[in-house]
């Protein structure tokens, strides 16, 4: 009897997976699986023979979201599912979390259908402090910039950045920069097959010099032990996510991986934590931050492959 096949899906930019995941094929092989690597939009791949398909380094999905989702819907055994990824490819999902009582970063949404002019965009930026401009559909931080509201040149660049996306039919998010990120960074809580698995702490990425563009911002992360308080907040967010999935599809789904990004509330905030993002597609799982992280993810994949 042959070993179960697991196909790790990547993009043309990472034909052998992201460096963070380089050890994953060997780890799967050690667990009695046959790992393969395939590029999601490679027409030569027969996905009906791909076994259990795990989406990882698809950093380019935002450049062809329609094509990516059509591909996802065609794959017989995809983790996570196509419907979940469709929801997660567009950061409007934060609105759904907010409706369910999750504290999210206050966001002004600029929609291309409104045909905003430069002055209209200008008036929707904060009057004080730093703020972030980013497209609602993006991967790896592409197109995300941090700007200073009281600096005329920075504000002008932010307007140009927003207009660039709007003129190409992309929704734009404007968020006041949460200064607690500079003080304590972000926290990522990783759930594997629905269970809390590990935590990493991330240093701030959006320094003031990071203004818009197609650069993927580098993340610096380290493993640490999650507090009871952090897991409590992560569980609230996870349950909110699953309530939405069940509401939309009529049934819940066991997610292979789920990364919940949170940031601590500031001294004057009412909330202990805020939801930054939920990553169910290509977000890094920080497998190289600790050798146990790689083992845990390989174990989670093996459970599903032998299911």
Based on DSSP, count helices (H) and strands (E) in the chain, helices before strands: 9, 13
> Average pLDDT, whole number, for the chain?
91
**Which stretch of 72-76, 77-81, 188-192, 265-269 has the lowest confidence by average pLDDT?**
265-269
Beta bridge partners of 38: 9
DSSP 217-262: PPP-EEEEPPPHHHHHHHHHHHHHHHHHHHHHHSS----SEEEEEE
Categorise residue 256: left if φ over 0, alpha if ψ from -120 to 50, beta otherwise: alpha
Does the structure show a pLDDT above 90 at 213?
A: no
Rounded average pLDDT over 270-278? 89
- Model confidence pLDDT, tens digit, residues 44-58: 999 999 999 999 999
- pLDDT at residue 222, as a whole number: 87
Sheet with 130-135: list strands edge to edge. Answer: 107-110, 172-176, 130-135, 145-148
- pLDDT at residue 218, as a whole number: 60
- pLDDT at residue 214, as a whole number: 52
- Model confidence pLDDT, tens digit, residues 157-190: 999 999 999 999 999 999 999 888 888 788 999 9
C-alpha 129 chain-centroid distance: 26
CATH domain 179-210+217-305 topology = D-amino Acid Aminotransferase; Chain A, domain 1 (3.30.470)
Claim: this prediction has a pTM higher than 0.85: yes
Does the structure show a pLDDT above 90 at 73?
A: yes
- pLDDT at residue 180, as a whole number: 83
Rounded average pLDDT over 7-14? 96
H-state helical runs in the chain: 24-30, 65-74, 82-88, 93-99, 118-123, 152-166, 180-184, 228-249, 291-305
Higher pLDDT, 66 or 250: 66
- Decide yes or no: CATH 3.30.1490 for domain 107-176: yes
Domain boundaries, the chain: 5-88, 107-176, 179-210+217-305
In the chain, the largest separation of any two C-alpha atoms, in whole Å, equals 67
107-176 and 179-210+217-305 agree in CATH topology: no
Token pair 């979390």 in the structure block, residue: 97
- pLDDT at residue 209, as a whole number: 46
- Model confidence pLDDT, tens digit, residues 181-200: 888 788 999 999 999 999 99
Token pair 């308080």 in the structure block, residue: 229
Report residue 170 as tokens.
């992309």
Rounded average pLDDT over 275-299? 95
Does the structure show a pLDDT above 80 at 1?
A: no
Token pair 């398909």 in the structure block, residue: 53
Contact 168, 160 (CB under 8 A): no
Quote the Cα angle for 266-269-272, to 5°: 75
Does the structure show a pLDDT above 90 at 292?
A: yes
**Which stretch of 125-139, 172-186, 252-266 has the lowest confidence by average pLDDT?**
172-186
């Amino acid at each position: 009897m042959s070993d179960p096949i697991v196909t790790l899906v990547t993009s043309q930019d990472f034909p052998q997976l992201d460096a963070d995941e380089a050890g994953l094929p060997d780890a799967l092989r050690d667990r009695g699986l046959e790992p393969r690597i395939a590029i999601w939009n490679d027409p030569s791949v027969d996905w009906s023979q791909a076994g259990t398909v795990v989406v990882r380094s698809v950093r380019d999905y935002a450049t062809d979201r329609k094509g990516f989702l059509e591909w996802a819907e065609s794959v017989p055994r995809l983790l996570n599912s196509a419907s979940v990824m469709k929801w997660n490819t567009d950061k409007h999902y934060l609105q759904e979390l907010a409706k369910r009582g999750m504290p999210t970063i206050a966001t002004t949404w600029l929609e291309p259908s409104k045909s905003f002019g430069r002055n209209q965009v200008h008036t929707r930026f904060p009057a004080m402090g730093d703020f972030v401009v980013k497209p609602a559909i993006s991967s790896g931080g592409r197109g995300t910039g941090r700007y200073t509201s009281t600096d005329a040149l920075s504000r002008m660049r932010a307007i140009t950045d927003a207009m660039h996306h709007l003129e190409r039919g992309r929704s734009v998010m404007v968020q006041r920069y949460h200064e607690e990120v500079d003080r304590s960074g972000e926290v990522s809580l990783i759930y594997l097959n629905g269970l809390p698995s590990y935590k990493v702490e991330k240093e701030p990425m959006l320094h003031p010099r990071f203004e818009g563009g197609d650069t993927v911002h580098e993340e610096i992360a380290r493993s640490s032990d999650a507090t009871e308080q952090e897991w409590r907040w992560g569980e609230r967010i996870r349950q909110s996510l699953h309530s939405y999935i069940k509401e939309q599809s009529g049934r819940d789904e066991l997610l292979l991986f789920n990364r919940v990004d949170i940031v601590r509330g500031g001294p004057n905030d009412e909330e202990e934590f805020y939801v930054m993002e939920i990553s169910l597609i290509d977000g890094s799982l920080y497998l190289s931050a600790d050798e146990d992280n790689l083992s845990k993810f390989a174990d989670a994949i093996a459970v599903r492959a032998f299911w």
